[in-house]
Structure 1
């Protein structure tokens, strides 16, 4: 087994017709879009259903009631700044909603959603100025001038999300007459005029436009957009932006991208910049830049990422800490940082073909992205702590929470980047399931799915994936079309899946079984209808220990099962007990029973008063008892509670 796949060029003509968020013009792997892959159920299918049925409508209602959509109406009417509501970046939430809606229309062809989409695009179009400028916070009498606050203004950041919405629309409904792509192009042309080689030699304090410009170049064929993205990437790290109390690292303006060793500063900004820089490197065939980004990803994953895949350990600046600075009770782990991490990893996966990138994507999807929305899709975690010390407070369902202050999932935030970010990710998730190369298909994420596509030489590929993953580890791929020539089916074996098995049951009655080591399990043959390839992943719960350099959790363990991290929640303890009063028993067993993971915990005698430092004593007293854990993505769904992922050992 190997972790990487061989290199291949990508046909740009083919790329422009695929309904996927990222379509490199050259890559080892070619993404399969919404027309090629359809998730049909299971863990992710259920969440996509909630997203479509409830979350999108919830977001639209808040965009209206909070005034962020009406800001565009005021701009069109010429009444701004009077009555404008929301932060300087509130325009971006409208654009993210449009992107999510475009992907969902591509999935479901919902006529009501189509009407809503067109209505909002018309309101946005009415607010655009004749030269292409589009922002409701800047540029009018009584407002700050355009481009006057690049550190905090988010003008280019907002436009980046506009461009991504236009890309999603063009890829799901090519040639649509709603005008969104034209709106985006006028704005992008202005950006290139203002910030090009002879323009303002600066960039946005919040990266995002870099990846958006490259994708807009890919969908339109206008290389000037990709060139502008490259300019933005290369300008960073030269002390261009004004210094702030947290330093220029916050903006990624302290070290050039090519010289950066690990992601640092604001975690969302850092990942968005890295994702855009991968796009720039791929477009320009820049191996040196790509190598630098690979190194940043590896060190960030190995030293600055929580067990959940979450990133960011500083609350004050929503930022990465130093190497090994991963305190569970101060984990910020912003939902948007997890989504941005997926974007960075996905681009490297397409470029390199290394299954390790898909491993981190899987971990982050299950334990950050899936954790944010409530089961009904109408409230969200902004930040994702790994240790809740006091029970949370149920938020007012009609209120708007200050950023990240909600101790339980909240319906909306003053800085509400996470809900529409989750929505656009779930709506486009089909495009992250599988890829193709010249020789076959690679499955990266496991969900019930139908895959119908063609290889570069025109060979038709058709198969269905059946699985209850992660409830169990059986993944069955049933071939639905005969092949005249051999092709290769590659299935990712996660790094934790030591002992996995691969079985091939031919329609002719012949069977073959072989071990499948972490990396890629490959089957190459001229498949026949009815052939079944089955991957069995070991799903027994496992106890993991942290690197001893992570001081905050030294002497603790965590429990994982498959791709899921599990947590101890106080609602599963005896009445009145707290997660701080127990430890893993010295002879503890970890077992699976009745769909739950159970551990043996011993109670510790609490000391309520007095000096908390004393000579070593036995850590736990009393008889151990079996306690059920909960998947981390499900914590907080049963009311206020305390919770911890890392459990002390007795």
Structure 2
């Protein structure tokens, strides 16, 4: 492989051009706090949990069965089950690449899984356990639903992860053979088609970046250009489901299946950046803007339809029917990171932060052994506790489940948390930029080989103080840039420089340019306090309600915090009274290992309707001036908890958008 030796090796996304240069897992280390705890659980629990479930479900054994001629008789799982093993392999590689002491054990796990996969690859590079063998459908006979190219995408990303984090090994070689097969089959003069589920586009671009081989980039560009020309059959959900209704350059908004749409947009950005195609990049930016303005939930979740896991129309964002699939959250973070690197605009880091804290962090339970597939914003019924040893339906949202028949989300969360340090910071010719806040250590080089080392100290997201200590700096001026989140709008944020100067800063970025000295401290003070949030009145489903956000965290009412016999639908809040901070930790049970739970609750003024106050058998619609339509209620202080923590304390009802007193 040619590689790009000018860039750090351990990079999930490594563009060769763009406004910002990402810092890799060998340059950024998360040392404590919110994300460190979640990454620890990911490493010590979730990765093994995914491995064990795939073995139990038979998905790992599919590769041996394929190599030994025992399919379709012995094959288990859906047609895309292969991809889950590849995502786990990617997660293992990135986790090992962070320098953890568990790296040898993670490498051994990866080697064992790779050994299971390798025999199933055919001499021409084809690799899939659901197609192409006696008794199975022929290769590429169902591109709309077969997911063959999608599976290759995850295989290739796993191979890239191994090469960058651990050095080229057998997994990388398997991925290269598969990619060469794809180019030979679907390249110019070959089969002019696309996969029903985008994903291979980003993988091929990353492989081109890794190897320096242009043919992989060209193939990705072909797949992006072919999309939207009716290549795939229309199907029951229409062509928009597969984003095959309009060419990428002509679309005005993300539509159809949310994960597919976001993966395609991420791939289009990768192609645009590497080819210098400003028009293609502008098309994705246009779609992002419309989608964020009209089709995104307060949590950052995307996808309002359960039936086809898709975006709804503009402002169709029902909280109780929110699908907001975890994988769509992961895909949104992927897209926002690429747009941030390409443009340098902080709004993309803002949405990534919202999505990380309120979608990605919501999916796994505190113990890392169960997950949400969908992330509703309003749960009307207490769900039943899923059996620990049974596969659950994928859309169940009452409680997190240990595994699903379609378990794309657990492995997607695992690989995202494994590579998370790479989303914190970037560099350019001027200096270093901080985009996400966590206790961390950063060590990188500026142009000319000048070393910079920083230590970030913060209790974010629970508190708003972010202290950056300079541990190493060149003897020349450079610029430190810190993102001031969009949620600070209407409040006051402060920046203190090493000389003690203090100034207010607005949402966007705050910069300090100077000759920094070791020991210098820069302090960003963000106004983390609970605030009422109201929706655009065109979001009909939540008109007359309000929500609470504290810093980047969205809050919710959960029935376990209400008096016995009461439910969240009995709650009415009073937005004329400012929400107040409540006791820390009440919203979370004890964390892994028995350490105290983290978190900050919020208390809001309001009313809780007395049980039985309404005549449940009566006509539910009354004149506005009929006093009988107002049930008896008790004034109360209502406790709200971080949305990401809900359902960690057993079956509960929950709602984010809260009706108001006297609406």
TM bucket (normalised to shorter chain) is over 0.9
Match of 1:378 in 2: 369
| 1:458-506 per-position Cα deviation (integer Å, ceiling 9, x unaligned) | 110001000010110000000001421111000000011131000123x
Match of 1:624 in 2: 635
Match of 2:526 in 1: 537
Residue 607 of structure 1 and its aligned partner are, at CA, apart by: 3.4
**Unpaired segments ≥5 residues, structure 1:** 1-10
Q: Separation in 2 of the partners of 1:585 and 1:532?
A: 41
> Which of 486, 492, 496 pairs up with 2:483?
492
Match of 1:522 in 2: 511
Residue 304 of structure 1 and its aligned partner are, at CA, apart by: 0.3
Match of 2:242 in 1: 251
Match of 2:591 in 1: none
Match of 2:252 in 1: 261
Q: Name the SS for the 1:496 alignment partner.
A: helix
Cα contact 2:8–2:24 (8 A) shared by 1: no
Cα contact 2:375–2:397 (8 A) shared by 1: no
Match of 1:330 in 2: 321
Cα contact 2:3–2:211 (8 A) shared by 1: no
Residue 406 of structure 1 and its aligned partner are, at CA, apart by: 4.5
Aligned residue runs from structure 1 range 124-143, under 5 A: 124-143=117-136
TM-score by length of 2: 0.94
Alignment RMSD, CA only? 1.3
Aligned residue runs from structure 1 range 606-645, under 5 A: 606-616=614-624, 617=626, 619=630, 621-645=632-656
| 1:428-477 per-position Cα deviation (integer Å, ceiling 9, x unaligned) | 00000000001100000000000001012211000100001011000000
- 1:130/1:415 CA distance change after superposition, 3 Å: same
1:501 paired to 2:509: no
1:346 paired to 2:362: no
Q: Separation in 1 of the partners of 2:205 and 2:245?
A: 24
Match of 2:415 in 1: 424
Residue 114 of structure 1 and its aligned partner are, at CA, apart by: 0.9
Cα contact 1:16–1:218 (8 A) shared by 2: no
Match of 1:298 in 2: 289
Bigger mean CA offset, 549-558 vs 489-498: 489-498
Aligned residue runs from structure 1 range 48-447, under 5 A: 48-107=39-98, 108=100, 110-175=103-168, 178-447=169-438
Q: Separation in 1 of the partners of 2:227 and 2:607?
A: 52
Residue 33 of structure 1 and its aligned partner are, at CA, apart by: 0.4
Match of 1:4 in 2: none
Question: Which structure's relative contact order is higher, taking Cα pairs within 8 Å and 6+ residues apart?
Answer: 1
Cα contact 1:435–1:443 (8 A) shared by 2: yes
Bigger mean CA offset, 594-603 vs 280-289: 594-603
Residue 587 of structure 1 and its aligned partner are, at CA, apart by: 4.0
1:552 paired to 2:541: yes
1:566 paired to 2:522: no
Q: Separation in 2 of the partners of 1:406 and 1:512?
A: 49
Cα contact 1:602–1:624 (8 A) shared by 2: yes
Tell me the number of residue pairs that the alignment of Structure 1 and Structure 2 aligns.
634
Q: Separation in 2 of the partners of 1:562 and 1:531?
A: 26
Q: Separation in 2 of the partners of 1:282 and 1:587?
A: 48
Cα contact 1:602–1:620 (8 A) shared by 2: no
Residue 593 of structure 1 and its aligned partner are, at CA, apart by: 2.6
Q: Separation in 2 of the partners of 1:291 and 1:621?
A: 55
Aligned residue runs from structure 1 range 16-55, under 5 A: 16-55=7-46
Residue 603 of structure 1 and its aligned partner are, at CA, apart by: 2.6
| 1:37-64 per-position Cα deviation (integer Å, ceiling 9, x unaligned) | 0000100000000000000000000110
TM-score by length of 1: 0.96
| 1:257-305 per-position Cα deviation (integer Å, ceiling 9, x unaligned) | 0011110000000000000000011111001111110010011111100
Residue 581 of structure 1 and its aligned partner are, at CA, apart by: 1.1
Q: Separation in 2 of the partners of 1:500 and 1:12?
A: 42
Residue 592 of structure 1 and its aligned partner are, at CA, apart by: 0.6
> Which of 593, 596, 607 pairs up with 1:602?
607
- 1:267/1:15 CA distance change after superposition, 3 Å: farther
Q: Separation in 2 of the partners of 1:533 and 1:144?
A: 61
Q: Separation in 2 of the partners of 1:602 and 1:386?
A: 21
Match of 1:6 in 2: none
Q: Separation in 1 of the partners of 2:265 and 2:52?
A: 33
Q: Separation in 2 of the partners of 1:267 and 1:537?
A: 32
Q: Name the SS for the 1:71 alignment partner.
A: helix
Q: Separation in 1 of the partners of 2:467 and 2:439?
A: 9
Q: Separation in 1 of the partners of 2:265 and 2:129?
A: 28
Cα contact 1:15–1:24 (8 A) shared by 2: no
